[in-house]
Amino acid sequence: MKKSLGARTIIFPTPVLIVATYDPAGRPNAMAAAWGGICCSDPPCVAVSLREATYTYGNLMARKAFTINIPSEEYLREADYLGLVSGRNVEKFPAAGLTPAPGKSVDAPVIEEFPLVLECALLKSVRIGLHTQFIGEIKDVRAETAVLDAGGNPGIGLVKPLIFDPAGRAYYGIGPRLGQAFAAGKSIGAPPAKEGRC
């Protein structure tokens, strides 16, 4: 039986997205965000929601560019720190011992230590409420060669991304591989050859 818990922001899993921008003085900044993810396949786009009060909000509005950096498990402490303090008061890169590098495709910094980064150009912003959603067109995905699998794709088990649990306010790792997508369900019924999905 299901119990009503009220209007709350709970989805499992939720990502740990580190949004990096340049501030008006050209200093790199990075903050942790959990409200976001891919939002379009063509053009490839990612959405991330930020409160107007954040330092990143103004930076992003001004430069129209940002990167989404995916930290690996070993950078849990740094990722959490980037969500605790404001770039208004602290230069977070040196404080966290992280290294900024210029994006190759957009006017935003990339975090060298994190294995996967999406370089994004602001496509549109959507006002919702406390959060405004920024939709960025993904201009390039770059990954450390050490996390590429035999097929040349980023391996989730090599990236070792963090998972955020918004109910328990905790971080988790990736568990075991459970099955192949667009395949496991065929034992129930397969689509006609020409049918689009869903």
- Which 101-160 residues touch a second copy, going by CB under 8 A? 104, 110, 116-118, 123-124, 126, 128-131, 133, 135, 137-145, 148-149, 152-156, 159
Residue keyed to tokens 């192949």: 180
Cβ 141 to a second copy, closest distance in Å?
5
Cβ 33 to a second copy, closest distance in Å?
8
Element (H, E) at 61: helix 55-63
Q: Which C-beta is closer to a second copy: that of 35 or that of 66? A: 35
Question: Which of 25, 26, 175, 193 contacts a second copy by CB under 8 A?
Answer: 175
As a dihedral over the C-alpha atoms of residue 109, residue 159, residue 153, residue 70, rounded to 10 degrees, the angle is -30
Distances (CA, A) of 179 to 93, 142, 185, 187: 38, 26, 10, 13
Write out the binding residues for a second copy, residues 13-52 only, by CB under 8 A: 13-15, 17, 31-47, 49-51
Taking Cα atoms as reference points, which of 42, 41, 39, 46 lies closest to residue 19? 46
Stretch binding a second copy (CB under 8 A), from 20-28, 58-66, 84-92: 84-92
Residue keyed to tokens 């965000």: 33
Q: Which C-beta is closer to a second copy: that of 40 or that of 62? A: 40
